[in-house]
Amino acid sequence: MSGVNYSLGAGKPLISREQNYVLDRKLLTIHSEDRDISKWPHANEFEIVLPQQLLNIQSMRLVEIEVPTNLYVFSNLYQNTIMDISGNKIKIQEGTYTPDQLVTEINTDLSNVGLPNLDISYNPINQKFSFINNTSADISLNFATQIDYSINNTSCPVIVFNNYANWGLPYYLGFNKQNITSPKKPVGLSPITIDASFSAVLNGDKCIYMEVDKYNSYDELYPYNESTFSNNEASNTTKKVQINGNNAYNGQINSAFAKIPLITHGADNYVFESRNIGLQNISHYDPPLERLGRLKFKFRFHDGRLVDFQNNPFNFTLEFNMLRSEMGRQYNVRIPSTYTL
């Protein structure tokens, strides 16, 4: 036998193994009435259990949402339905008003509390409200007085009176946060008029923020930083941005999942928002989310006020892109002659 050389243990090139994945898309439709009403009586915050657990989630996106546009501008939840005039609580009905409707509502309330000779009027040219004192006594517009809304069983997570904007009913009428005293009308002279400093704000907020607990990706600046927050109140997720060595701004990382503009489309009085109008409310996860079985949502405005949906239903769709392992396969398919493709 001729000699044969065997090379035992000789190195051999390793065959690289690539991990191939296919992106698997799953859509989930959610209606506000899907929530557990007994646990989540208000649709501005609720939790759901998914029909099936989703695995290896690479991204999540708000595809579309349908929100009613007949949301209230004035609500006890927003703490903007009451003002103090000469120690009397003037309380308007919750809802949305035209300027003329608001004039009628407030004048009715003034008469009901014994101030029939104090009127409010609206100038459509400069869009300002004015109080007209035709009484024989001094009138105090106590707009720097904080109203206690706890008696109205509100559960707003913020005290709006501390804000620079939307701080109460007088703000929407165009007045500053200050007490104003009007002297009584001099005998034989014209009534005393107190004009608002600014034009009225009656159209409400322009967008809603949607939070998805643990899965937010929006960074957001806090409004009203100077009076609302201090260094001691900053949480782990709150960062103070220094400008010229001063703590000028507060911001929160991953504070929201989507920003939804309140824009009416069509004649059905509903809002539609999706990627088709140029917004990309999408969150990516690296590494992918291993498992997802439930989601908790919150709908609020920029200043933290929860949206008062007034039991109006709404719905939205979430898109989940999942990574599914893909093994290279070759399929040999025989088509029966009786089949016509």
How far is the first Cα of the chain from the last one, in angstroms, to the nearest whole number?
63
- CA–CA distance, 299 with 280 (Å, rounded to integer): 18
Q: Tokens 């002659």 sit at which residue?
A: 337
Give how far Cα 275 sits from Cα of 63, 64, 117, 259, 298, Å. 6, 7, 54, 12, 21
DSSP 264: B
- CA–CA distance, 45 with 42 (Å, rounded to integer): 6
Is-contact 47 297, C-beta < 8 A? yes
Is-contact 80 171, C-beta < 8 A? yes
- CA–CA distance, 291 with 326 (Å, rounded to integer): 19
Centroid of chain to Cα 270: 16
Domains and CATH numbers, the chain: 21-71+205-217+257-325 (2.60.120), 76-195 (no CATH)
As averages over each run of 10 residues, the pLDDT of the chain (341 residues) reads 50 60 90 96 96 94 87 94 96 96 98 93 97 90 93 70 93 97 81 94 93 93 58 42 47 90 66 55 87 96 93 93 76 66 52
pLDDT value for 263: 72
pLDDT value for 41: 93
pLDDT value for 236: 40
Q: Give residues with Cβ within 8 angstroms of 334, minimum separation 6.
A: none
